[in-house]
Amino acid sequence: MEIDLLQHCPKRCPPDGENKAVLYSTSLRGIRKTFEDCNTVRNILHSTNVELDERDVSMDSQFRQELKDLMDKPVPVPRLFIKGRYIGGAEEVVAAHESGALARMLHGLPHGNLSKDCDGCGGVRFIPCTDCSGSCKSVGADGGVVKCPECNENGLVRCPICS
């Protein structure tokens, strides 16, 4: 009888993360160790061929706030959640992968098509807002300029094809 390893992980479920793997990471290269840790965890998860919901905190501050709310404080990325359970950062994910525990935790999740980049965003997972063309501004009902309600602070929206 197999032990459910996820039962030993804290229950902290990201929005819409009940039945998937959610990785909070960054694509910014500002801090080398953080960038390398994010790439390490991303590569491990891609090697499992499991569909991954990657949330880049450098591309959308909403993801940074989600992670802060989940952890009750600001924490560095990467951070992995599987099926609504908190797995950990880079050290914990690497250790779980090396022991074979990560594969057992990911068992039952849908497989993703990781063989090529998305045709819509090129693998970046965001595209410029089609409503404001990335300017973050639109025309309000009174004819004045207002913040575009569709995009984030960078004028981006999640790719409708791969996100």
Residue 141 lies in a domain: yes
Torsion angle in degrees (nearest 10) through CA of 10, 18, 50, 36: -50
Residue 97 lies in a domain: yes
Tokens of 156: 């981006």
- Give residue 45's pLDDT: 95
Could you tell me the residue range of the domain that residue 71 belongs to? 5-106
- Give residue 115's pLDDT: 53
Backbone φ and ψ of 53, nearest 5°: -100, 95
Residues 57 and 85 in one domain: yes
- Give residue 40's pLDDT: 97
User: CB of 62 within 8 A of CB of 55?
Assistant: no
- Give residue 1's pLDDT: 32
Q: Which ranges of the chain have pLDDT less than 70?
A: 1-3, 113-116
pLDDT in tens, 84-111: 999 999 999 999 999 999 999 999 999 8
Backbone φ and ψ of 38, nearest 5°: -65, -45
- Give residue 26's pLDDT: 95
- CATH number, position 37: 3.40.30.10
Tokens of 134: 């990335």
- Report strand pairing: 21-25 vs 52-56: parallel
- Give residue 116's pLDDT: 64
Q: Give me the residues paired with residue 50 across strands.
A: 111
- Give residue 114's pLDDT: 58
Three-state secondary structure call for residue 136: coil
Residues 66 and 96 in one domain: yes
Tokens of 60: 């959308």
- Give residue 139's pLDDT: 87
Residues 25 and 71 in one domain: yes
Residue 38 lies in a domain: yes
Residues 19 and 90 in one domain: yes
Residues 102 and 58 in one domain: yes
